Amino acid sequence: MRRLLHRRYDPVLKLETEVLTDEINQTINSIKTKAWEETFRQTGHNTNKMGEIAKNLKKNNETFSIPPIQSSDGIETTDQEKAEAIAETFEKTHRLTENHSDYRTEKHVHKQTKRILKEKHTELTNT
């Protein structure tokens, strides 16, 4: 749906996308909340278990991990492979052509330029 919205702006489609995104985010938050409630219910008043959870939360917030990435070579799991796959995709996406000039286009432009100049020259000499 987002791709459609990016291709052709439509206010109704934008509103529908926003509504669906909000519903998805609410569902995710609800699932997370239920998981936390279950975790806390299982720990009860066990302070050792709560300390262990706090330690793991602090430890997990120190690092950021990108999930595996699907590339043309397969699934990339190491940070180096992921970085190379992202760079390769970015390069392919933003490269116009392999050859930065197109002979047929250049020839056509040159021919049309000559024709226009000839027409202008003819107009000026006939007046």
The CA distance from 47 to 44, in Å, is 8
Domain ranges within the chain, ordered by starting residue:
2-99, 100-127
Q: What is the pLDDT of residue 64?
A: 55
pLDDT tens string for the chain (127 positions)? 556 656 667 777 778 888 888 899 899 888 888 887 787 777 777 767 777 777 777 775 555 566 787 777 788 888 888 888 888 877 777 666 555 567 788 888 889 888 888 888 787 777 6
Q: At residue 40, what is the residue type?
A: F
Q: pLDDT at position 108, please?
A: 86
Q: What is the pTM of this model?
A: 0.36
List beta partners, residue 75.
70
Cβ-based neighbours of 20, under 8 Å, separated by 6 or more: 1
pLDDT of residue 43: 74
